[in-house]
Amino acid sequence: MSWQVVPIERRHVAGFREVLDGVARERRYLAFLEAPPPARMRRFVLDGLRAGIPQFVAVDDARVVGWCDVVPKSHETLRHSGTLGMGVAASHRGIGVGTALLRATLEGAFARGLTRVELVVRADNEPAIALYRRHGFELEGRLRRYVVVDGVAHDALQMARLG
């Protein structure tokens, strides 16, 4: 496999939606169970490009196989802070894609002047929690019964890294 991490561009929108949809449909990792409609995904990416938010994709032979972004908060008192989201296609996990995506996105977030990057991760998502810890995220709290999937409640962890 020969993949690389690049800043997202307009031409990646459909592929970004496809990989996100695949991960959402695994029903174990994300807050949504399928991707938002194409128009909403397109708006998200184009707004992000205009605002210059750190938003990267991993691309393997023109296929988008992962994403990572930090969306800055909009309230005046919270603008130093952003929320991180990421995922890697099941076919490309465990080979360093997530590490490369996270590194590039955090670098972009702190270069942009953010001083706090936060995220919420399901408490049973060990690979993701290990990855975040390795990149300096610390546990801030446990969100009890935060997610309900197929009638089953799961706790989540609030983590943050300060820059």
Ligand X SMILES: CC(C)(COP(=O)(O)OP(=O)(O)OC[C@H]1O[C@@H](n2cnc3c(N)ncnc32)[C@H](O)[C@@H]1OP(=O)(O)O)[C@@H](O)C(=O)NCCC(=O)NCCS
Point out which residues bind ligand X (CB under 6 A): 23, 29, 86-88, 93-99, 119, 121, 125-128, 130-131, 134
In the complex, minimum distance from the CB of residue 73 to ligand X, in angstroms, rounded to a whole number: 18
Residue 52 or residue 127: which is nearer to ligand X going by CB?
127
In the complex, minimum distance from the CB of residue 50 to ligand X, in angstroms, rounded to a whole number: 25
Q: Which residue is nearest to ligand X (CB)?
A: 98
In the complex, minimum distance from the CB of residue 48 to ligand X, in angstroms, rounded to a whole number: 18
Residue 8 or residue 128: which is nearer to ligand X going by CB?
128
> What order do you get walking across the sheet with 3-7 strand by strand?
3-7, 55-60, 63-72, 81-88, 116-122, 152-162, 138-149
CA distance 71 to 34: 20
Selection from 75, 54, 65 nearest residue 16 by Cα: 65
Residue 45 or residue 119: which is nearer to ligand X going by CB?
119
In the complex, minimum distance from the CB of residue 95 to ligand X, in angstroms, rounded to a whole number: 5
Beta strand segments in the chain, E: 3-7, 55-60, 63-72, 81-88, 116-122, 138-149, 152-162
Residue 125 or residue 158: which is nearer to ligand X going by CB?
125
Q: List residues bridging with 56 in a β-sheet.
A: 7, 68
